[in-house]
Amino acid sequence: MRVNTPQINHQTIEGEVVVINLENGFYYSLLDLSAALWHLAASGLDLDAIVERVAATYPDVTDAAGATRAFLDELVAEQLLVDGEGSPAPAEAGLPTRYTAPLLEKFTDMQELLMLDPIHEVDSIGWPHKPTGT
C-alpha cells in the first residue's frame, strides 16, 4: 500500500501523525500504536505482514491482530491508503513496547465549512463568458 497522494498528506510531530484529505476536508490524528501502524502501512509493508507482526509483538493481548486488521481496513476505507509501492518508513517506525488499541480519530468539522461556503449560494448575474460555439 501507499499513501493516497496527492490528496492525502501527513505530518508527524512529536509522535502524533496528522493526516489531511485535501479533497473532502477530513483530517485525522493517529497516536501510539496507530501512528506506528500508519508508518508501516505507508512504507508499503503488506497489511497481512503488519497484522502478523502485531500479533507476535503483543502475544498476551486478546485480539490485537483483529483490532489491527480492522484499523488497517479503516485506513483503506477512508482512502488514506491505496494500492501501490510505499515510501520507506521513518526510523521510529517500530512497534511501541506497550500496546494501545489502534484508533483512527477523525475530524469532520471542515465539511461544515465547505458546505457553508457562500460563493456557490448565489446566482450568476453578471457572468461574462464567451458566446456558445466560440
Partner 1 sequence: MSSAPVSGSGRAREISEWFGALVEHHRATAAAEGESMAELAVGRVPIRFHFAGSRLRPFLFPALAHHPQARSEPAFTILIYDSRPGAAPVPAFPFRLEDVGAKGEVAAATTESIRTTWFIGSRMLSVIDLERKVAICWTPDAATLPWYERAAPLRTLLHWILAASGRNLVHAAAVSLPSGRGALLAGRGGSGKSTTAMLCLAAGFHYAGDDYVVVSADQGQAEAHSLYGSAKLTANSLEWLPFLRSGVQGDAADGEKTVVMLGDVIPERMVDSFGVAALIVPHVSAAPRSTLRRSTAAASLRALAPTTIFQLPGSSGATFEQLASFTRAIPAWSLELGADRDDIPALVAQAIEAG
Backbone angles phi, psi at 16, to 5 degrees: -90, 135
* Buried residues in 53-69 as b, exposed as e (16+ CB within 10 A): bbbebbeeeeebbebbb
Give whichever of 23 and 46 is closer to partner 1, judged by the CB atom. Answer: 23
Give whichever of 23 and 52 is closer to partner 1, judged by the CB atom. Answer: 23
CB of 47 to partner 1, least distance (A): 24
CB of 82 to partner 1, least distance (A): 16
CA 75, 79, 80, 82 dihedral sign is positive
Which stretches of the chain bind partner 1, using CB under 8 A?
A: 5-7, 9, 11, 13-14, 16, 18, 20, 22-23, 25, 27, 29, 107, 109-110, 113-114, 117-122, 124-130
CB of 115 to partner 1, least distance (A): 9
The DSSP code sequence of 27-87 is EEEE-HHHHHHHHHHHTT--HHHHHHHHHHH-TTSTTHHHHHHHHHHHHHHTTSEESS--P
Give whichever of 100 and 107 is closer to partner 1, judged by the CB atom. Answer: 107
CB of 68 to partner 1, least distance (A): 22
Give whichever of 91 and 119 is closer to partner 1, judged by the CB atom. Answer: 119
